[in-house]
Amino acid sequence: MTRRLLVTGGAGFIGSNFVRHWRDNYPHDYMVVLDALTYAGNCENLAYLEGEENFRFVRGDIKDAALVKRVLETHNIDVIAHFAAESHVDRSILGPRTFVETNVLGTFTLLEEFRYYWETQGKPVNYRFLHISTDEVYGSLTSDAPRFEETTPYAPNSPYAASKAGSDHLVRAYNHTYQLPTIITNCSNNYGPYQFPEKLIPLTCINILMGKSLPVYGDGKNVRDWLYVGDHCRALDIVINYGEPGETYNIGGNNEVENINLVRMICQLMDEFIPELPVKPAGQLITFVKDRPGHDRRYAVKTSKIRKQLGWTPTMTITQGLRLTVQWYLNNREWWEPLLSQEYQSYYQRNYKTDN
Ligand code: NAD
Ligand code: TYD
């Protein structure tokens, strides 16, 4: 069976990795990417698909109901993979409004237009709305607490997490009320190729290359579970094909690491890969800076539901995945250099102003 997918946010980090995964595995499927190309969206990520018969790129906003309706109808979409979002916690602290607008209102608009379209088509049972969300909706764990499960109550702490939680609730309600075939996935911190430079792993690699300080928030002992983006895309593929509508699946990498240890691992890799760095060993650049307001201590998800029900497990260890990722940033300077724009510099100044 060939599918006709609408991938929102497909020019961003995870979305573009997902498009690549889907194209490699289902070359005959039709894909439309709808992306507003915000600071985080980059059409270079999809340039290799230009001119392909079964691929379309539409620049536009998920809050534009008329556009969403037109895209669904024109391209006979049967699966929405919804990645589009404002995704960075630090930016949500500096300016929460766009997070509510895109993550809550944008998701609402997509749901409403998809519902209308699905009902008009006679409620086909094979249609899917996959909503990609985060483990941050569950709040923060203490160091010895059991990992989040799909049944853990929501307790979002940042404006970003609250906006994602709001969108998750709407997705759930559309399934419960209208039987719209929605599925939610809540994943842990992704890493890998094509991640925007402001996130911890690329930021650390790039700052080492430039001899800039490596800002570590607070005491550096906050823990994140790291999921390689390729493992994540494989999980989303399985969820689209075999997941149960109305269900939620947690997706994690089973790789919990303290931030400071992660940064040290990257420093070691850079020391190993590059004979001449502006500052070597790179670990000398580590600088503890003022903590992020409301900084969650630890996130980690249990992945037993998706393992038992759908047979998915992550394959990449953080040691292997970091090696690949650091190498990718070293080999793809021409991808990230243009992203260190004026806008990026001014964000950087605002976010790290007291310490850098
Ligand atoms: P990203 O910031 O790299 O990309 C987001 C994309 O959405 C960009 O291409 C951007 O242009 C587009 N976009 C933003 N607002 C839009 C709008 N109003 N209309 C249309 N397009 C818009 O994000 P990412 O890291 O790839 O994350 C993708 C999804 O996964 C998000 O929903 C995020 O909440 C979720 N998630 C990410 C992580 C992670 O570690 N990166 C972890 C858990 C969940
Ligand atoms: P981030 O990549 O922003 O993801 P999230 O906040 O969604 O988990 O950050 C990962 C962790 O790294 C988080 O605990 C915050 C921390 N961090 C720093 O210590 N310094 C930094 O400059 C950044 C961007 C993040």
Domain count, the chain: 1
Place of tokens 């792993």: 201
The answer to whether 355 is a known catalytic residue is no
Report whether pLDDT(10) > 90: yes
Q: Which of 160, 217, 249, 329 is catalytic?
A: 160
- The answer to whether residue 196 sits within a structural domain is no
Q: Which of 35, 61, 113, 135 is catalytic?
A: 135
pLDDT tens figures, 110-140: 999 999 999 999 999 999 999 999 999 999 9
pLDDT tens figures, 319-353: 999 999 999 999 999 999 999 999 999 999 999 98
Report whether pLDDT(167) > 50: yes
- The answer to whether residue 350 sits within a structural domain is no
- How far is residue 308 CA from its own chain's centroid? 24
Check pocket membership of 110 for ligand 1, CB cut-off 6 A: no
Percent helix, percent strand, percent coil in the chain, to nearest 5: 45, 15, 35
Q: Which helix (H) or strand (E) holds 32?
A: strand 30-35
- The answer to whether residue 214 sits within a structural domain is no
Tell me, what DSSP letter sits at residue 49? Answer: G
d(CA 281, ligand 1 centre) in Å: 34
Report whether pLDDT(355) > 80: no
Give percent of the chain with pLDDT exceeding 70.
99
What average pLDDT does this structure show over 87-93? 98
Q: What is the mean pLDDT of the chain?
A: 97
Taking the CA of 351 as reference, the closest ligand is 2
Q: Which of 35, 113, 136, 256 is catalytic?
A: 136
Distance CA 148, CA 153 (A): 9
Residues 6 or more apart whose Cβ sits within 8 Å of residue 258: 220, 221, 222, 223
- The answer to whether residue 286 sits within a structural domain is no
Nearest to 224 by CA among 37, 89, 31, 112: 89
Check pocket membership of 161 for ligand 1, CB cut-off 6 A: no
Residue 5 — very low, low, confident or very high, per pLDDT cuts 50/70/90? Answer: very high
Name which residue sits closest to atom 15 of ligand 2, judged by CA. 217
d(CA 84, ligand 1 centre) in Å: 5
- The answer to whether residue 64 sits within a structural domain is yes
Collapsing DSSP to helix, strand or coil, 43 comes out as helix
Check pocket membership of 103 for ligand 1, CB cut-off 6 A: no
- The answer to whether residue 271 sits within a structural domain is no
Taking the CA of 219 as reference, the closest ligand is 2
Domain CATH for 21? 3.40.50.720
Task: Work out the angle at residue 238's Cα, subtended by the Cα atoms of residues 16 and 306, and round it to the nearest 5 degrees.
Answer: 115
pLDDT tens figures, 203-221: 999 999 999 999 999 999 9
The answer to whether 136 is a known catalytic residue is yes
Pocket test for ligand 1, best of 7, 8, 13, 262 (most atoms within 8 A of CB): 13
Indicate the Cα dihedral angle 214, 322, 18, 248, nearest 10°. -90
Taking the CA of 90 as reference, the closest ligand is 2
- The answer to whether residue 205 sits within a structural domain is no
Q: Are 243 and 183 in contact (CB under 8 A)?
A: yes
- The answer to whether residue 23 sits within a structural domain is yes
What average pLDDT does this structure show over 170-193? 98
The predicted structure's pLDDT at residue 354: 61
Check pocket membership of 203 for ligand 2, CB cut-off 6 A: yes
Instruction: Using a cut of 0.95, tell me whether the model's pTM lies above it.
Output: yes
Name which residue sits closest to atom 35 of ligand 1, judged by CA. 133
Bridge partners, 215 (sequence order): 287
Taking the CA of 294 as reference, the closest ligand is 2
- Measured from the Cα of 63, ligand 1's closest atom is 18
Check pocket membership of 269 for ligand 1, CB cut-off 6 A: no
The answer to whether 217 is a known catalytic residue is no
Nearest to 199 by CA among 21, 8, 14, 7: 14
Collapsing DSSP to helix, strand or coil, 6 comes out as strand
Domain that holds residue 104: 4-188+228-254+295-314
The predicted structure's pLDDT at residue 118: 98
Check pocket membership of 41 for ligand 1, CB cut-off 6 A: yes
Report whether pLDDT(356) > 80: no
For residues 238 and 356, which has the higher predicted lDDT (pLDDT)? 238
Q: Are 324 and 192 in contact (CB under 8 A)?
A: yes
Q: Which pair of tokens denotes residue 227?
A: 């999921």
Q: Are 211 and 166 in contact (CB under 8 A)?
A: no
